[in-house]
Amino acid sequence: MSVGAAFMRLEAEIAEAWRAEFAQETGLVRSELARRRTSEGRFLSGASACVLGWLRAQGHYDMAVEEFCAQVADTALVRLRHQSQVHSFELLVNNALGAFLDSGNPAHIERGVQCLDALEAVIEWQTNSALYQIACVYARAGLTDRAITMIERAVEGGRSIETMASDSDFASVVDDPRFQRLRGCVAGSSGNSS
């Protein structure tokens, strides 16, 4: 893990250096500098995405949860990282939430919802990378409306509603009429294309 921790630490130091560059600026100068740095892809998330995925695969759920919660706490940096590297950042969210879910710890689900609340206050999901895991967290937390919204988006992005129907993470929502309607719509459209 020391190599992974070093990568994440280096990534954080790079992000902080870029952020410090414009922290002293104000108004339009600051906005333009932030826009330029994010368009150049200066705020990184790839190492964190990989390391959190590795932590999940190794069963180090508590470490993954703590690291992700710490990263999400800096919402200004979250916004910059997301703008700079959308896919890498959303993959980071996917890998982290997988650890929250795999742990089987209800407290991790609660913390996952708190992290998602913080994230969704400053970013909008732009890829399909994390939607499935987000929907799982919301479903496991009993937040049916939010889960259904993410399920719909995930299905629109190509995820299988049948896979979701058989995934125990969605047990609380599979009988919801909206889930069933979505399932029927997908089955109906598949039948019409034959």
pLDDT (tens digit, 9 = 90+) per residue, 119-173?
A: 999 999 999 999 999 999 999 999 999 999 999 999 999 999 999 999 999 999 9
- In the predicted structure, residue 114 carries a pLDDT above the cut 50: yes
Same domain membership, residue 83 and residue 65 = yes
Residue whose structure tokens are 């950042």? 89
H/E element, 193 = none
Residue that finishes a domain, picked among 76, 103, 128: 128
SS3 19: helix
Contact 55, 99 (CB under 8 A): yes
Q: What is the tens place of the pLDDT at every residue in 83-99?
A: 999 999 999 999 999 99
Amino acid in position 20: A
- In the predicted structure, residue 109 carries a pLDDT above the cut 70: yes
pLDDT at 193: 45
Distance between CA 17 and CA 4 in Å, rounded? 20
Residue that finishes a domain, picked among 108, 128, 148: 128
What is the tally of structural domains in the chain? 2
pLDDT at 16: 81
- Smallest CA-to-CA distance from 52 within 11, 110, 105 is with 11
Contact 90, 126 (CB under 8 A): yes
Looking at per-residue confidence, does 43 or 125 come out higher? 125
Distance between CA 116 and CA 37 in Å, rounded? 25
Provide the domain limits for residue 59.
1-128
Residue that finishes a domain, picked among 109, 128, 147: 128
Same domain membership, residue 145 and residue 101 = no
Average pLDDT over residues 39-63: 92
* Mean pLDDT (the chain, rounded): 90
Query: For the whole model, what pTM was predicted?
Result: 0.87
Same domain membership, residue 146 and residue 61 = no
Provide the pLDDT confidence category of residue 1 given band limits of 50, 70 and 90.
Answer: low
Residue whose structure tokens are 């890829």? 127
Looking at per-residue confidence, does 115 or 80 come out higher? 115
Same domain membership, residue 142 and residue 118 = no
